């Protein structure tokens, strides 16, 4: 198993990053939020999970070990493959997934594209005894672009654009969640991009 990759970012595409490791460019599938944190030419380290199929080998990358762990646990649910597991983590942080499962928050899980009410209920039922209620304390793997007062805005913009929302819709979402992000910055905290993305998607789904 390839547990992690560490090297220079060669390219960032719509759904993957190419990381140069030992002279070899390795394509890693990532969520929009993770991709928004990566810049060509900079160094990055990603926790990874290799998914083997008869006709393909696909490497999925994550900003933290905890994200990778939740990604792999999600696939234990009936009908959930790696793409849907990744889609869940594109909308919710690992602890947000735990909270949704622990509190039977089916509505939060249906914010994920491809997850209907029945699918959300199945996630809650089958994950109840697998995720726990708190994070496992996995090491955070720092990615270029995560720090900085304005970084949240660009990360969120790229995440929403990657999910198919128009420029106008993205601008409206950024304006709506701006006060929440600025409030976090005002007290010295980094805005929670995953939470802002969740709020934005909820708002956009109503328009």
Instruction: State the CATH number of the domain containing residue 167.
Output: 1.10.8
pLDDT the model gives residue 30: 93
pLDDT the model gives residue 128: 85
Reported as a single tens digit per residue, the pLDDT across 156-176 is 877 888 788 888 888 888 888
152 alpha carbon, distance to own chain's centre = 14
Residues 157 and 121 in one domain: no
Residues 54 and 74 in one domain: no
Count CA within 13 A, CB hemisphere, residue 17.
Answer: 34
Q: Is 26 among the domain residues?
A: yes
Q: Is 137 among the domain residues?
A: no
- The secondary structure of 43-109 as a DSSP string is EEEEEEEEEEETTEEEEEEESBHHHHHHHHHHTTSTT--HHHHHHHHHHS-HHHHHHHHHTT-HHHH
Q: Is 145 among the domain residues?
A: no
Which residues of the chain are modeled with pLDDT < 70? 1, 132-151, 186, 188, 207
Q: Is this prediction's pTM over 0.75?
A: no
Residues 155 and 198 in one domain: yes
Cβ count near 189 (within 10 Å): 10
Structural domain range at position 122 = 65-127
Q: Is 24 among the domain residues?
A: yes
């Amino acid at each position: 198993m390839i547990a992690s990759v560490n090297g220079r970012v060669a390219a960032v595409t719509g759904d993957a990053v190419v990381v140069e490791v030992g002279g070899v460019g390795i394509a890693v599938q990532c969520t929009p939020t993770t991709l928004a944190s990566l810049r060509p030419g900079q160094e990055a380290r990603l926790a990874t999970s290799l998914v083997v199929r008869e006709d393909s080998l696909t490497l999925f990358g994550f900003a933290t070990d905890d994200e990778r762990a939740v990604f792999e646990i999600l696939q234990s649910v009936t009908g959930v493959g790696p793409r849907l597991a990744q889609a869940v983590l594109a909308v919710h942080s690992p602890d947000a997934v735990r909270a949704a499962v622990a509190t039977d928050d089916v509505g939060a899980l249906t914010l994920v594209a491809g997850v209907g009410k029945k699918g959300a209920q199945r996630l809650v039922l089958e994950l109840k005894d697998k995720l726990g209620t708190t994070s496992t304390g996995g090491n955070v793997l720092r990615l270029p672009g995560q720090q900085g007062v304005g970084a949240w805005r660009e990360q969120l913009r790229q995440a929403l654009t990657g999910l198919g929302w128009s420029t106008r819709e993205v601008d409206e979402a950024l304006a709506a969640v701006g006060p929440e992000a600025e409030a976090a910055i005002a007290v010295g905290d980094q805005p929670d991009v995953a939470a802002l993305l969740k709020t934005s998607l909820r708002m956009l789904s109503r328009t």
